[in-house]
Structure 1
Amino acid sequence: MAAATAATTDGRARVRILLIDDHDLFREGLKYLLPVLDSKVQYFEAGTLDDALQLKCEEGFDLILLDYYMPGVNGMDALEKCRQTFESATLVVVSGEEDPRIIRQSIEQGASGYIPKSSSRDDLVEALRLVLAGGTYLPSHAYRPVSPAISFAVQQSDAGNEIMITKLSRRQFEVLMKAVQGKSNKTIARELDISDHTVKAHLSVAFRTLGVQNRTEAVYAAAKLGIQPGQSTRYEEVAQQ
């Protein structure tokens, strides 16, 4: 059955993380690693997807860590069910599968990152910090060409988009960051109090600037550039008004 463990008991605001993984040893190891990430972590765990989907958290989860291969369920289906059930949570795949195509499919399905289980302790902690800050984590081998479009997006990001991105307005940059986080146009419009049409217009400009065609390519390009909310304020500082 699903279980919950609070890492602190002092009543302070907590980071609520749910790990969905069928391997007891991995869940137990991550449980003791998370306080290194943040002493205010409240840790929840589930050994099956069904248990996870039944788990309730009054305040909602901040981060869902999902094993790609779970018994009795396809990885893409598991991602979709988690997206529908935990709408406000950031969703990240943590898996032993390292195929770049699977990584891309996970991002296309709405994951905000993909962390291989082969990652070192330090890399895992830094990856979690990144996604909790609103960024997108991809392992370095994810940038291997899995399609002409992704290859082009990565090449473009290496060829000067760090300068081009600063030509976006602050609002265009803000909309791009929310899109990279996996938020829908309607969600972005609601959060920024603008119309869906305005969101689409801002994304169109941002995609052209990055030299990409869609959100998935934008995620790869932004991740390659190291652009993420809260950690790349230099982009926001130089962005046009």
Structure 2
Amino acid sequence: MRILLVDDHALFRDGVALLLKELDAAVQVSHAANLDEALAILDGDAGIDLILLDFILPGMHGLQALETVRERHPGVPLVMLSSQEDQVTVLRSIQLGAMGFIPKSAPSGQMFEALRTVLARRIYVPPLSLAGIALPVPARACTSPAELGLTPRQTQVLRLILEGKPMKLIARELGLSPNTTKTHVSAVLRALAVTTRTQAIVAANRMGLVLGDDAS
């Protein structure tokens, strides 16, 4: 597994790289101190499995960097690292395509949990970031897409939503027209009793929704 770690503090990068070795002794960590270095690595190497991106980089706001990376390399899972962990920042990051958000204050165990979740192609949101979000819930508890009444195609759409994929990329990956994709996304949101894709991610986290291999 190859991970690209983007942070302007070399000491922090070295510390995280050591922690990542505990997650997987065979992990290879590439380092970048800014967005330009990160893009140079990504553009020249298709073998990166995961990006860890600092929220605050020299000369660029973290959300701008996130948008740029997701636009250039939408298929590579990306996790934000930040000393800012307010609810607005976390949910906005997820909305823009991050598959996870890890506070820099988090213990190593939480980081490992987050990375395992993301590498399994699921969204990781810090539990405290979900506190106080009032969402409607389905009439009964559900743990699978079938229980929500979703079709196999809608389950595939849900999986891509939970991977942080934007509408255009969902359409491209599934070979659907924009209108058909919009229809399926709307059906998924209705099933989860939410109105936005970000709310869908939060709702799925709260429900512990499990997508089987047949959704891939």
Residues 37 and 227 of structure 1: CA distance in aligned 2, closer, same or farther (over 3 Å):
farther
Unaligned runs of 5+ in 2: none
Q: Is the aligned partner of 1:188 residue 2:170?
A: yes
Q: Distance in 1 between matches of 2:21 and 2:123?
A: 21
Q: Distance in 1 between matches of 2:172 and 2:71?
A: 18
1:113–1:137 Cα contact (<8 Å) kept: yes
Match of 2:13 in 1: 27
Q: Is the aligned partner of 1:197 residue 2:184?
A: no
2:83–2:105 Cα contact (<8 Å) kept: yes
Q: Map 1:30-179; keep pairs closer than 5 Å.
A: 30-56=16-42, 57-145=44-132, 150-153=133-136, 156=137, 160-162=140-142, 165=145, 166=147, 167-179=149-161
Q: TM-score, structure 1 length as denominator?
A: 0.79
Letter paired with 1:175: V
Q: Deviations over 1:171-213 (max 9, x none)?
A: 2112111012121333223323333333222211110011111
Q: Give the Å deviation of 1:163.
A: 5.5
| Identical residues among aligned pairs (%) | 42
Q: Give the Å deviation of 1:60.
A: 3.9
2:81–2:102 Cα contact (<8 Å) kept: yes
Q: Give 3-state SS (helix, strand or coil) of 1:177's partner.
A: helix
Letter paired with 2:207: L
Match of 1:209 in 2: 191
Unaligned runs of 5+ in 1: 1-14
Q: Map 1:223-234; keep pairs closer than 5 Å.
A: 223-227=205-209, 232-233=211-212
How many matched pairs? 212
Q: Distance in 2 between matches of 1:103 and 1:19?
A: 19
2:123–2:163 Cα contact (<8 Å) kept: yes
Q: Deviations over 1:48-96 (max 9, x none)?
A: 2222122244324221111111222112111112112322211111111
Q: Distance in 1 between matches of 2:169 and 2:61?
A: 27
Q: Distance in 1 between matches of 2:143 and 2:124?
A: 21
Q: Give the Å deviation of 1:164.
A: 7.9
Letter paired with 2:14: E
2:54–2:81 Cα contact (<8 Å) kept: yes
Q: Distance in 2 between matches of 1:71 and 1:212?
A: 37
